Amino acid sequence: MVDAATRSSPPRNRESGELLVLGVESTAHTFGASVVSSRPPYVLSDVRSQYKPSKGGILPREAAAFLAENAPGVVSRALEEAGVGPGELDAIAVSLGPGMGPSLRVGATVARALASRYGLPIVPVNHAVAHIEIARFLTGLRDPLVLYVAGGNTTVMSHVAGRYRVFGETLDIALGNLLDTFAREAGIAPPYIVGGEHAVDRCAAGGKYVKGMPYVVKGQDVSFSGLLTTSLKLLRKGFRLSDVCYTLREIAFSSVVEVAERGLAHTGKDSIILTGGVAANRILNEKVRLMALEQGARFEPIEARFCGDNGVMIAITGLLAYAHGVSLDTPRKALIRQRWRPDEVDAPWYPLTLRDL
């Protein structure tokens, strides 16, 4: 870890009332650290290190070992780039869930160690809430409907009466998991993403619609496991890869957009944000944009680099929460919660964003 004495940037001249929070992200394959200020330019650093399995999916223990090895360097660089010594921080925010146990434990351990060493409070951050807060911060949409699509999550949410409430979600696998698993089993990945494009998109070029692949929306919820099985079965039967990829993508994206559209109608929200790793997808962005246009709702896409997991979103959320009195009284209480749902988290800062503090 970097001490104030070994810092390369000059010390910051802190304005009165400025809050500085270090955010630590470590829920799955990314170890990210970022220092965020309550004053412009807000984001002072953004350092990440990502585990990439050479073949197959994420191996939890291998991922955690990678994160643990890279954590000290990532935290040091985040402080260095921000020109902030650890003793100058007001709090440490850490994503304690939901996520993979071994990965979560790395971030929690790092946060507890730093908090104990420097006498800092820990702010517990829910990873899903953080994906929402960075999108609200970047787009300026203060009270949106949220479509959160990632490797392990597919949820439509909106803030009602103090919390983000889940309007609809996947009943089985997440959208990112569907795309990744199909790509892997079809032999077109890893790597899953090349030049910002998913392997399924790349192989869908020139594809045509295949009849008989299941489109499943049950009430407000979606389901993708039948779509995955059928797609792989058709491929084995000799259907063209491009046709199966195209149809899989169209069905999967249309089903989440349908639930989001209904969410807009039911909640009466007049804007929508798309967040999480799959939000980097250009075709999904276009579908959401068209749906929002039809519904008369505002939609602002977010930059691809802030769709996937990062420390900035944890620091932003932690700072908002800390400014509203949320922190643990002892680092020992910073315990991971693998299945922590966003609707279990109070969001007392809402509808404020960092720009309103």
Determine the distance from the C-alpha atom of residue 60 to the mean position of all C-alpha atoms in its chain, rounded to a whole number. Answer: 18
Taking the mean position of all CA atoms in its chain, how far away is CA 39? 23
Note the maximum CA span of the chain: 67
Cβ at position 122, least distance to ligand AMP in Å: 23
How far apart are alpha carbons 32 and 25 in whole angstroms?
A: 5
How many chain residues interact with ligand AMP (CB under 6 A)? Answer: 19
Of the pair 39, 341, the CB lying nearest ligand AMP is at 341
Closest distance between ligand AMP and the C-beta of residue 253, in Å? Answer: 9
**Which of these segments, 16-24, 31-39, 135-143, 195-203, binds ligand AMP (CB under 6 A)?**
195-203
Which is closer to ligand AMP, CB of 191 or CB of 348? 191
Q: What is the DSSP letter of 307?
A: T
Is 95 near ligand AMP (CB under 6 A)?
A: no
Minimum CB–partner distance for residue 5 and ligand AMP (Å): 35
Exactly one of 125, 193, 260, 320 binds ligand AMP (CB under 6 A); which one? 193
Q: Which is nearer to ligand AMP, 186 or 323 (CB)?
A: 186
Q: Which is nearer to Mg ion, 201 or 309 (CB)?
A: 309
Q: Which of 128, 118, 39 is nearest to 85 (CA)?
A: 118
* Contact partners, residue 342, CB within 8 Å, separation at least 6: 126, 128, 129, 132, 155, 157, 163, 164, 166
> How many whole angstroms separate alpha carbon 46 and alpha carbon 82?
9
Please report, as residue ranges, which positions from 129 to 188 form the binding site for ligand AMP (by CB under 6 A). 150-152, 176, 179-180
Cα–Cα distance, 283 to 207 (Å, whole number): 14
User: Which is nearer to Mg ion, 32 or 168 (by Cβ)?
Assistant: 32
CB of 116 to ligand AMP, least distance (A): 29
- 301 makes contact with ligand AMP (CB under 6 A): no
Residue 280 within binding range of ligand AMP, rule CB under 6 A: yes
CA–CA distances in Å: residue 272 to residues 19, 250, 299: 29, 20, 5
Work out the burial of residue 330: count CB atoms within 10 Å of its CB; fewer than 13 is exposed, 13-18 middle, 19 or more buried.
exposed
**Position 150 contacts Mg ion (CB under 5 A):** yes
Q: How far is the CB of 302 from Mg ion (least distance, A)?
A: 13
Binds 193, which of Mg ion, ligand AMP, none (CB < 5 to 8 A, cut-off by type)?
A: ligand AMP
Q: Which residue of this chain has its Cβ atom nearest to ligand AMP in the complex? A: 277
Q: Does 309 bind Mg ion (CB under 5 A)?
A: yes
Sign of the CA dihedral running 264, 269, 271, 273: negative
CA dihedral over 132, 138, 143, 144, signed as positive or negative: negative
Q: Does 191 bind ligand AMP (CB under 6 A)?
A: no
Query: Rounded to whole angstroms, how far apart are CA atoms 19 and 38?
Result: 5
Residues in contact with ligand AMP by CB under 6 A are: 28, 150-152, 176, 179-180, 192-193, 196-198, 276-278, 280-281, 308-309
Q: Which residues bind Mg ion (CB under 5 A)?
A: 150, 309
